[in-house]
Structure 1
């Protein structure tokens, strides 16, 4: 597609990842097309050193940074069972916020980032008025937290559901409860294995994360923030 014309500077996007980066690749491919016009990925940050998404970023000449938690666990040993109060986690999140804000992004996109962000990250980013959005494999208010695809599959096999979904939502302190931006219902029927359901969901995620990011950037434009 041809690059979209606009008088403004491209919206700067920081993408947080943990794994293969297939959703990151969808964003890379969509930038400056009709699907995601006048947008630029400023940096990709991963909490895993071996995340293939870092290689995708490098191949696209996008700055890529690994920010792992292990050094923080060594510096802040904590036996607390409540992850909200683990000092290592909060120290990690505080530094992650500084890494993100150093690039002055207009928006942060969590594209398969497998860490729950604490207020040590959320508060400074909120002060900067930078929205954070997240891809979650469930409809809003349905399945919350980790393992949603497996949980949906188990309920399907038990005859308790026939569909699930995916959404892009704004990130708030309450896990997966932020305002939904876009959602898509996905039928489970016809899937013979959990892997088939996972593949069906992933096929839909790539389009939805681009659509959700575009919608969020358009809101920033309407509000005069980009």
Structure 2
């Protein structure tokens, strides 16, 4: 069973990404500092072959893996019996779980991983007592799914909101509804473009993902709400 690391062996972290990896870089920089002590990223896995985050990991000798979905979509094509590539998605997730578990991590961090994880991934990881956490650009119970920054911006433009936020939360089958670990409000006043809001949010993300990872590592082995 995974437990909070109080010994000399570093906590093993697997990181899932899809893009530039700026939040991955924040985790890399924090490992073995006061911000994230005695921690080691054992692998970075991306669903996109050209994700710049893979280069960030390779630059510091962290093992990487590209795990793309296209071969699964070809093997399990979309159809009326298999809408929205459901069979492909589950096969992809099941293999992703095995890739992750082969590294024996104690925690999996989704740092800009742009895929919804099904129970085909979640159940094997949960069965190994490995925690899964995710960065989401909204406060808990507010905006869910993809495009939350755009949704918040549109509501701000319509005078329906004045703030949004960021949270780090445990991953469960219900999208973006897992127990929050830490969250932070982001005031929207003064933003004149969507890009300014994105920049403001991203500026907060890098510190919060490290803080959330540290809290989650300290809580390894403790019971929590599902």
Question: How many equivalent residue pairs?
Answer: 218
What corresponds to 1:177 in structure 2? 177
What corresponds to 2:93 in structure 1? 93
What corresponds to 1:74 in structure 2? 74
Runs of 4+ in structure 1 displaced over 4 angstroms? 80-83
Could you list the per-position Cα deviations for residues 162-190 of structure 1 after superposition, in whole angstroms to 9, with x for gaps in the alignment? 00000000000000000000000000100
What corresponds to 1:190 in structure 2? 190
Residue pairs, 1:200-211, within 5 angstroms: 200-211=200-211
What corresponds to 2:215 in structure 1? 215
- Is 1:158 aligned to residue 158 of structure 2? yes
Residue pairs, 1:66-145, within 5 angstroms: 66-80=66-80, 82-83=83-84, 86-145=86-145
What corresponds to 2:199 in structure 1? 199
Instruction: Using structure 1 for the length normalisation, give the TM-score.
Output: 0.93
Instruction: Using structure 2 for the length normalisation, give the TM-score.
Output: 0.93
Partner secondary structure for residue 140 of structure 1: coil
Give, in angstroms, the shift of residue 79 of structure 1: 1.9
What corresponds to 2:3 in structure 1? none
CA distance in 1, matches of 2:61, 2:214: 22
Where does the alignment leave 5 or more consecutive residues of structure 1 unmatched? 1-5
What corresponds to 2:7 in structure 1? 7
Where does the alignment leave 5 or more consecutive residues of structure 2 unmatched? 1-5
- Residues 50 and 170 of structure 1, relative CA distance in 2, 3 Å threshold: same
Looking at both structures, which has the greater relative contact order when contacts are Cα pairs under 8 Å and sequence separation is at least 6? 2
Could you list the per-position Cα deviations for residues 147-167 of structure 1 after superposition, in whole angstroms to 9, with x for gaps in the alignment? 000000000000000000000
CA distance in 2, matches of 1:91, 1:22: 29
CA RMSD of aligned residues (A): 1.5
